[in-house]
Amino acid sequence: MSGLSRRDWGLGLLAAGCALAARPARADWGLPQLMALLSRHGSGKASFVEKKYIALLDKPVESSGELLYRAPDRLEKRTLAPKPEAMVLQGDTLTLERGAGRPIVLSLQQYPELAAFTESIRATLAGDQQALERVYAVSLDGDEAHWTLTLRPLNERMAAAVERIVIGGSRGEVLRVEIDQADRDRSVMTITPAAS
C-alpha cells in the first residue's frame, strides 16, 4: 500500500469524519446534546493541517488539504501538500489514491479493524451515541464553549493500535482531532471549517 498502512488510512478517515461532524450549539450541555448537534449535520467542507509525530523522526511530518462529508456515508480526505493523495469512504468501500497510480479499492468487510474505525466515523457523524459506545469508551469534558470528547477503543485489537482519540471543539464546531497510537506515535489535525 505504498508507505501507509490500512490502519493509517483508517485513522486518517476517522479524523476527517470527526472534523466535519458538528454544527450549531444548544444551551444545555452534555454528551446527549453534543450527539444531537452531530446528528443534524448533513454535509460539510473544511481545510486541515495535520502533523504526524513519529518516534523515528526528529520533526513532525506535516500535510494539508481539505475534508468533505456528504450524508449519509460519503467522506473524503484530500491531501494537497506535500503531495496529492485521497481517501474516499463510500458505503462499505474505501478507495485510496496516491499520485498517478491506480486507485486501491478495499471492501471493509475484509478488514474488520478498519471497518470498526469507519463505523465509529459513521456513528460520530450520525450522532449515534449507542453505536459509538459499542466501539469506544466515550467521555466528554469541558463546557459548550470549550469541549473535549475522548474515545478509547474497547476492542483489544483496536487498543493495540490506538490508545485514544481526542476531539476538541468550541460550541458546535470541531477544531482539533488528536490520535494517540499505542506505539506512542501521534497525529494532530487542526481544522478550519469553510464559511457557511
Q: Rounded mean pLDDT of 80-95?
A: 91
Percent of the chain with pLDDT over 90: 29
Grid cell at residue 40: 443534524
Average of per-residue pLDDT across 124-134 = 80
Higher pLDDT, 14 or 76: 76
CATH of 6-193, one of 2.50.20.10, 1.25.40.10, 3.90.1150.10, 2.60.40.1930: 2.50.20.10
Q: Residue 193: its pLDDT value, please?
A: 85
Judged against a pLDDT cut of 90, whether residue 37 lies above it is answered with no
pLDDT confidence band for 12 (50 / 70 / 90):
low
CB contact at 8 A, 165 and 14: yes
In this prediction, residue 9 has a pLDDT band, given cuts at 50, 70 and 90, of low
Average pLDDT, rounded, for the chain: 81
What pLDDT score does 79 carry? 94
Task: Report which listed range, 35-39, 43-47, 128-132, 138-142, is most confident.
Answer: 138-142
Contact 176, 169 (CB under 8 A): yes
C-alpha R_g of the chain: 16
Residue 112 has pLDDT above 90, yes or no: no
Torsion over CA of 114, 120, 123 and 126, rounded to 10 degrees? -80
**∠ Cα 175 15 147 (to 5°):** 35
Reported as a pLDDT band with limits 50, 70 and 90, residue 60 is very high
The pLDDT value given to residue 95:
93
- Give the start-to-end residue ranges of the domains of the chain: 6-193
pLDDT at 6 over 70: no
Mean pLDDT on 126-132: 81
In this prediction, residue 195 carries a pLDDT of: 75
C-alpha distances in Å from residue 1, one per residue of 8, 62, 77, 109, 147: 11, 20, 17, 18, 36
